[in-house]
Amino acid sequence: MSNPFDLTGKVAIVTGANTGIGQAIALALAAAGADVACVGRTPAEDTAAQIRALGRRAAIVAADLSTIEPVGRVVDETLAALGGLDILVNNAGIIRRADAVDFTEADWDAVVDTNLKSVFFLCQAAGRHMIAQGAGRIINIASMLTFQGGIRVPSYTASKSGIGGLTKLLANEWAGKGVTVNAIAPGYIATNNTAALQADETRNRAILDRIPAGRWGDPADLGGAAVFLASRAADYVQGHILAVDGGWLAR
């Protein structure tokens, strides 16, 4: 029997692929056989080099997803460079922290535009291609705050709650058209986005005390979940939000 997790011959887009979670997912997909378009404001030269070292093709697509302006170009450049599009991973995201009573409209709009608006329109652009070819995989990056409220991150919580609903909506519309739409909800992962929490001794200890695994997650911990949702093994998985959190939500 062929390996149901084999992604040989598939082409993936990964946004925010230059570092952290995006880089780890891009490398995991490449290790499973996929060619990868690495999308981001900062050129993902290191990620692309590591993908090529695995024997896979890599394309670098420069795009600032704080607006939807580059969305169509991301898909077009991927098709031109790699000859197809089978997998989309919407990982690019930002976070702004402030008490809710002090939160600004600018910080609200910046986060929601990047984390939710651009994600929808990139799903739309990729989805049109995938529906036309009768197959595709979309993986959105959700959060623990898709399920919980958090503190001092109102626009981030709103955007990631929206990702949960959007994932289910698209699954409802596209499941019968050969496109699976799911999400991964990372727990507390050691990345640039969580540097402030890691540096705050009180918050860091409170977080670690709740995680049954007893440690912050590593970006590489998300690779297996991404490969699974991108593969034939997940053919009948739709609208699911897979928590990779060291047991955080179980507490």
Ramachandran angles phi, psi of 184, nearest 5°: -110, 130
Alpha-carbon distance of 16 to 20, in angstroms, equals: 8
Q: How much helix, strand and coil, in percent to the nearest 5, is found in the chain?
A: 50, 15, 35
User: How many Å is the Cα radius of gyration of the chain?
Assistant: 17
User: Would you call 88 helix, strand, or coil by DSSP?
Assistant: strand
Nearest to 224 by CA among 28, 69, 86, 16: 28
DSSP codes joined into one string, 158-194: HHHHHHHHHHHHHHHHHGGGTEEEEEEEE-SB-SGGG
HSE toward the beta carbon, residue 228, CA cutoff 13 A:
15
Which residue of the set 38, 48, 136, 156 is catalytic? 156
CB count in 10 Å sphere of residue 211: 18
Residues near 212 by beta carbon (within 8 Å), at least 6 away in sequence: 246, 247, 248, 250, 251
Residues near 206 by beta carbon (within 8 Å), at least 6 away in sequence: none
The residue to which tokens 């970006």 are assigned: 219
Whether residue 188 lies in the annotated active site: no
Q: Catalogue the active-site residues.
A: 156
